[in-house]
Structure 1
Amino acid sequence: MKIKKFNVGTTGLDRFFGPLEAKIMNVLWDAEHPLTIKEVQQSLDHEKSLSFNTVMTVMNRLVEKGALQKQMEGKSFHYVPLESREDFLDHQSRELTHELMEEFGSLAVNHMVDVLEEVDPKLIQALEDKIRQWKNNG
C-alpha cells in the first residue's frame, strides 16, 4: 500500500490515516480474525456513536486504498488488513525515508543523525553498526 499523504504534526497511525481510519485499522489489527462492519462498529462504539454507514464507508475506502481486504464469508463481508501493523509501519517508514533521501539527500541524512542524538544516543551505535555491516557486504 502506497500512502499518498503523510500528516506532519500528528502521531502514530494518524500520520498515515485519518483519525477514524486509524482507529478502524487498530481494531482490525488487534482482532485475531476477520471482522464484519458491525463488529468493528461495536468495537468503536465506546468512543462515540458511529453509524453503521459511516464505518462501512471508511472501511470500504480502506479497501480502495489497499489497506484492507474484503472477503465474503457466509452472508456478510469480513475485513482483514492486507499486512500486519509491524509490516505496514516498516514499509511506510522505508518509503518515507526513501522519498526524503531522493528529495533532500545529504540534508536529510544530517538531520536524521542530529535527531538520533536527541532521541536516543544508543541509536548512533546502531547506525554505526549498520554502516559497518553495509561496508563489509559492499
Structure 2
Amino acid sequence: MLRGLGELESTIMDRMWARRRPASVRDVLEDLRQERTIAYTTVMTVMDKLHTKGLLRRRPVGRAYVYEPIASKEAYTADLMRSALADSGNQAATLVHFLERLTAEEAAALEAALQVFPHRGGQA
C-alpha cells in the first residue's frame, strides 16, 4: 500500500520534480531556505527517507549524494490513486463517489485521457 507523503517530504518532492535535474541536499536546502529556516541535517534525513521509500534515486558525487526522482509526479499520483482504489473495499462504489466529485475541468481531463488511452478489454 502506498501512503501519501508528510508535509516536508511533499515539499521536497515538489522541488525535486520541478528541478527536472539531479540535486544535492545542499541544492534543496538552499531552495527551501528561501521560504523557511531549516537545518541541513533535516533535509538530508528526509531525502534519505525518500530514497529508502523508493521515490528518489541517488548516486555518490564526491563526499555527498546527488538525488533525482525515480518517477514523475504524475506517475506517483497515479500510483497513490490506484492504491487507494485497491484498498477501498468496493472499487465500483469508490469510482462512483470519485466521479461525482469531479469538477467540469477534471471531467474534461478524464475524457481526454480516456480518448488517448485505448480500452484494454477488462485487462488490469
TM superposition score category, shorter chain reference = 0.7 to 0.9
The residue that corresponds to 1:104 in the other structure is 90
Q: Give RMSD over aligned pairs.
A: 2.8
Cα deviation, residue 37, structure 1: 0.5
Matched, 1:40 2:24: no
User: How many angstroms does 1:134 deviate by?
Assistant: 4.3
Structure with greater helix share of residues:
1
Q: Normalising by the residue count of structure 1, what TM-score does the alignment of the two structures yield?
A: 0.70
Give the Å deviation of 1:26.
1.1
2-structure distance, mates of 1:115, 1:62: 31
2:70 corresponds to which residue? Answer: 82
**More relative contact order in 1 or in 2 (CA 8 Å, sep 6+)?**
2
Count of matched residue pairs: 118
Please, which runs of 5 or more residues in structure 1 have no aligned partner?
Answer: 6-15
CA shift, 1:86, in A, is 1.6
Structure 2: which amino acid aligns with 1:115? R
Give the aligned partner of residue 126 of structure 1.
111
Larger radius of gyration between Structure 1 and Structure 2: 1
What per-residue deviation string (whole Å, max 9, x for no partner) do you get for residues 26-70 of structure 1? 111111321111110000001211000111111111111111112
- Give the share of equivalent positions with the same residue, in percent: 25
Report the secondary structure of 1:77's partner residue.
strand
Letter matched to residue 80 of structure 1: E
3-state secondary structure, aligned to 1:93: helix
Pairwise CA distance, 1:96: 1.8
Separation in structure 1 between the aligned mates of residue 13 and residue 58 of structure 2, nearest angstrom? 13
Q: CA deviation at 1:110?
A: 3.3
